[in-house]
């Protein structure tokens, strides 16, 4: 009884599920799925036979809920994992591929499990299963960081994409990673084209990295455009964008007040470069008290890691006179 | 952030020193671009001509610029006897001007139909790559820029034509700022150039490393009004300034600055291109180059200078000094690394100093150095 209450408490409303099902363009209805979710959550055997594809779709719905809320309770995470497992047991290739990917990605998994997953993924790839191409690319991109291999697999996925109607998000993610690889290879022209395509294709929340990289491409030649893109990133809470936009406002647009506001938000995530920017801005605006407080916070923060320590030393070396003046006040 | 860090100040030691012969030799000894351009001039790889049949097509767009000779001079050159017949001469002049108006309208109509709408920032971004993303000639860049300037003048041109009808050409002659550039007579251009001379420069280059936003609104307004290549009409600049819309003024300045970089870069690339035998630049392109970069003193008649041997040499060496200063120690793709593309403190900087701490231009007395 307790578990039934927990399920009712944590599970998203029917309205949200209906919205997501509409987004996923599936013929399944919430009326059909909600009892199934409850059955799986409570560990009961479903009253009717359910195919692997349905289980996979159910897990996808939960993933979308996670993306929407940017938070997932432990119980729902377990439910999502169970659904993925059930889908792979019932012969859904997408489910098998995702489960294998999850196992390979995890560091805590045993090597035996990992080799089995690799074999399975290899078989799927040989069979021409499209999502597996993307997942193999993901392994090379995130796990082993072999970008040439990742590029090869992502390209295969994007080229063959037309054969199957995928969720745009999956394609967008693969294309985004492809763009990032091109960006790091120095092929900015191609990267720009890819990022622009991704931004058109995927909702803003899912393509923040594309927007950020695009802003980095434009920052040299079209700072105004870059600023607009960075503001868009900031509205999505992308951590790296706060210091970038802060420095852009401070050094290029000479708007110290606004730069200070951006740095202040960045400081909440303990980014030491935001502290440097905040110090410079407050010193320039002759807000010495704030500059002094900022310096003290930096001193504390610099002990957190060697990287921060090195950056802080460099900063202190370049601002000797300012710090000296603050100390004497 | 590389752009922000890599904005470099101007080191006076790297300027071309025109104080004495020795100082000049010393300052140009390590400047590779200067020697390349000097060799190009000496070996006739780079030539300046008023013969339209000889000029490089990808480099020049003479139809979009005013003539360097007056219509009377051109007519009398072809038929010397005509000057003694007053009515015949004026009939010919009127006919010549009407033809010129017709060809100008045709040229700009063609440009409107064919030119690619590319932003200067985009071109600069493409050219800055180790392998440029697309090929673009200097002619295309300058034509699209000149088209923008002409387009900005169209409403007032139409209005004036409606009011004054055939009197429009004399009006342009006496009020050159109202007219469109390619139709300006030599006298009108001389009058017009007074507002864009070297002495009128707003940035005095002692404040290093600045982006367009570092300037105040009033300074931006004054600066834009002294730039010959500004595609925005003065009334609009005044309006933006009065309403304190700084970002619009700053963006116009960025655009002009980037246009000048692209223009310089493509010109230099064309001259230093080894596969090309000769790069020839027309007289009116040379005059326009000097005008756009404010490389002339107040009172100098550029059209007369370009047709005299000494005057032309002065203009050519000003051009060479300007390019050599700007592109010294710059590889094929690292202009941004040296200056930062948005550092407007090098806008219209001549690259030469005439005494220890005074920036000045090449004049006739300096010609013996070269």
pLDDT, tens digit, 9 for 90 and up, residues B209-267: 678 998 899 999 999 999 999 999 889 999 999 999 999 999 999 999 999 999 998 99
Task: Give the pLDDT confidence score for residue A166 in this predicted structure.
Answer: 56
Q: Tokens 């951006």 sit at which residue?
A: A262
Distance CA B68, CA B285 (A): 10
Cβ distance A38 to A31 under 8 Å? no
A244/B contact by beta carbon, under 8 A: yes
Helices (H), chain B: 2-5, 21-28, 32-42, 71-78, 86-114, 120-127, 138-164, 168-174, 186-193, 217-225, 234-242, 246-272, 283-292, 302-307, 309-327, 335-338
Confidence of residue B172 (pLDDT cuts 50, 70, 90): confident
For residue B170, the distance in angstroms to the closest alpha carbon of chain A comes to: 42
Give the total number of structural domains in chain B. 1
Confidence of residue B73 (pLDDT cuts 50, 70, 90): confident
- Tell me the pLDDT tens digit for each residue of B303-340: 999 999 999 999 999 999 999 988 887 765 567 777 77
Tens digits of pLDDT across chain A (329 residues): 587 888 888 888 999 999 988 888 888 888 888 888 888 888 888 777 888 888 998 998 999 899 888 888 888 899 998 999 999 888 888 889 989 998 888 888 788 888 888 898 899 988 888 888 989 998 899 888 889 999 999 998 888 776 555 567 888 999 999 999 999 998 888 999 999 999 998 889 889 999 999 999 998 889 999 999 999 999 998 999 999 999 999 988 989 999 999 999 999 999 899 999 999 999 999 999 999 999 999 989 988 888 889 888 888 888 888 888 888 87
Measured in residues, chain A has a length of: 329
Looking at the predicted structure, is the pLDDT value of residue B72 above 90? no
B161 part of a folded domain: no
B292 part of a folded domain: yes
Distance CA B139, CA B132 (A): 17
Confidence of residue B90 (pLDDT cuts 50, 70, 90): confident
For residue B121, list chain A residues with Cβ-Cβ distance below 8 A: 218, 221-222
- Name the residue of chain B whose CA is nearest to A215's CA: B1
Mean pLDDT of chain B: 86
B122/A contact by beta carbon, under 8 A: yes
Average pLDDT for residues B75-94, to the nearest whole number?
80
Angle between helices A52-69 and A74-89 (to 10 degrees): 160
- Tell me the pLDDT tens digit for each residue of B37-62: 999 999 999 999 988 888 888 889 98
Q: Tokens 């904005």 sit at which residue?
A: B7
Residues 247-266 of B with CB under 8 A from A: 247, 251, 258
For residue A253, list chain B residues with Cβ-Cβ distance below 8 A: 211, 213
For residue A13, the distance in angstroms to the closest alpha carbon of chain B comes to: 45
Rounded to 5°, angle at Cα A271 from A269 and A277:
120
- Name the residue of chain A whose CA is nearest to B2's CA: A220
B111 part of a folded domain: no
**CA A202, chain centre distance (Å):** 13
Report CB contact under 8 Å: A188, B125: yes
Question: Which residues span the domain enclosing B208?
Answer: 12-52+191-369
B154 part of a folded domain: no
Q: Which of A188, A189, A247 sits opposite B1 (nearest CB)?
A: A247
Q: ipTM, 2 decimals?
A: 0.85
B75 part of a folded domain: no
Q: Tokens 């868009």 sit at which residue?
A: A232
* pTM exceeds 0.90: no
């Amino acid at each position: 009884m307790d578990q039934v209450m927990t399920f009712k408490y944590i599970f998203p409303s029917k309205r949200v599920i209906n919205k997501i099902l509409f987004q996923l363009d599936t013929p399944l209805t919430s009326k059909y799925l909600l009892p199934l979710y409850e059955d799986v959550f409570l560990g009961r055997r479903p009253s009717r036979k359910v195919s692997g594809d349905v289980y996979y779709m159910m897990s996808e719905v939960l993933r979308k809920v996670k993306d929407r809320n940017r938070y997932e309770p432990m119980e729902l995470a377990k439910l999502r994992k169970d659904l993925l497992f059930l889908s792979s047991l019932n012969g859904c290739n997408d489910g098998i591929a995702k489960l294998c990917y999850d196992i390979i990605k995890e560091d805590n998994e045993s090597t035996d499990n990992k080799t089995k997953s690799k074999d399975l993924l290899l078989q799927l790839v040989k069979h021409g299963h499209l999502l597996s191409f993307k997942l193999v690319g993901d392994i090379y991109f995130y796990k082993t960081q072999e970008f040439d291999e990742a590029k090869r697999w992502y390209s295969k996925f994007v080229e063959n994409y037309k054969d199957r109607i995928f969720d745009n998000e999956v394609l967008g993610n693969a294309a985004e990673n492809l763009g990032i690889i091109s960006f790091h290879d120095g092929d900015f022209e191609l990267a720009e084209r890819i990022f622009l395509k991704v931004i058109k294709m995927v909702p803003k929340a899912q393509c923040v990295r594309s927007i950020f990289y695009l802003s980095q491409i434009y920052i040299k030649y079209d700072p105004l455009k870059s600023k607009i893109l960075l503001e868009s990133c900031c509205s999505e809470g992308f951590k790296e964008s706060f210091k970038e936009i802060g420095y852009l406002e401070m050094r290029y647009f000479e708007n110290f007040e606004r730069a200070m506001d951006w740095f202040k938000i960045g400081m909440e995530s303990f980014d030491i470069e935001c502290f440097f920017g905040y110090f410079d801005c407050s010193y320039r605006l002759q807000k010495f008290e704030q500059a002094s407080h900022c310096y003290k916070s930096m001193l504390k923060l610099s002990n957190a890691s060697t990287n921060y320590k090195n950056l802080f030393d460099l900063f202190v070396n370049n601002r000797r006179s300012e710090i000296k003046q603050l100390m004497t006040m | 952030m590389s752009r922000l860090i890599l904005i470099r100040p101007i080191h006076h030691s790297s300027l071309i020193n025109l104080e004495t012969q020795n100082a000049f030799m010393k300052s140009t000894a390590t400047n590779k671009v200067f020697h390349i351009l000097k060799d190009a001039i000496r070996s006739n790889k780079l030539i300046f001509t008023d013969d339209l049949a000889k000029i490089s097509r990808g480099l020049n767009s003479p139809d979009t610029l005013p003539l360097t000779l007056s219509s009377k001079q051109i007519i009398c050159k072809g038929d010397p006897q005509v000057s003694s017949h007053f009515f015949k001469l004026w009939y010919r002049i009127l006919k010549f001007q009407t033809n010129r108006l017709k060809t100008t309208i045709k040229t700009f109509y063609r440009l409107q139909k064919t030119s690619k709408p590319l932003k200067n920032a985009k071109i600069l971004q493409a050219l800055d790559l180790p392998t440029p993303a697309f090929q673009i000639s200097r002619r295309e860049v300058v034509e699209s820029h000149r088209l923008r300037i002409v387009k900005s003048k169209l409403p007032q041109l139409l209005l004036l034509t409606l009011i004054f009808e055939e009197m429009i050409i004399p009006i342009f002659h006496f009020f050159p700022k109202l007219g469109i550039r390619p139709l300006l007579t030599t006298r009108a251009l001389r009058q017009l150039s007074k507002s864009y001379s070297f002495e009128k420069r707003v940035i005095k280059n002692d404040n290093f490393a600045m982006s367009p936003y570092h300037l105040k609104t009033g300074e931006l307004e004054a600066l834009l009004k002294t730039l010959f290549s500004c595609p925005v009409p003065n009334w609009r600049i005044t309006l933006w300034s009065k309403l304190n819309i700084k970002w619009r003024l700053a963006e116009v300045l960025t655009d002009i600055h980037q246009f000048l970089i692209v223009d310089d870069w493509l010109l230099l690339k064309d001259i230093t291109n080894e596969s090309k035998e000769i790069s020839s630049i027309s007289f009116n392109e040379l005059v326009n180059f000097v005008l756009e970069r404010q490389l002339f003193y107040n009172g100098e008649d550029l059209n007369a200078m370009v047709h005299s041997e000494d005057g032309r040499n002065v203009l050519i060496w000003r051009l060479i000094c300007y390019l050599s200063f700007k592109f010294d120690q710059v590889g094929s793709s690292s202009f941004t690394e040296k200056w930062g593309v948005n550092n407007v403190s090098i806008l219209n900087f001549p690259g030469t100093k005439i005494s220890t701490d005074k920036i000045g231009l090449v004049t006739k007395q300096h010609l013996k150095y070269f």
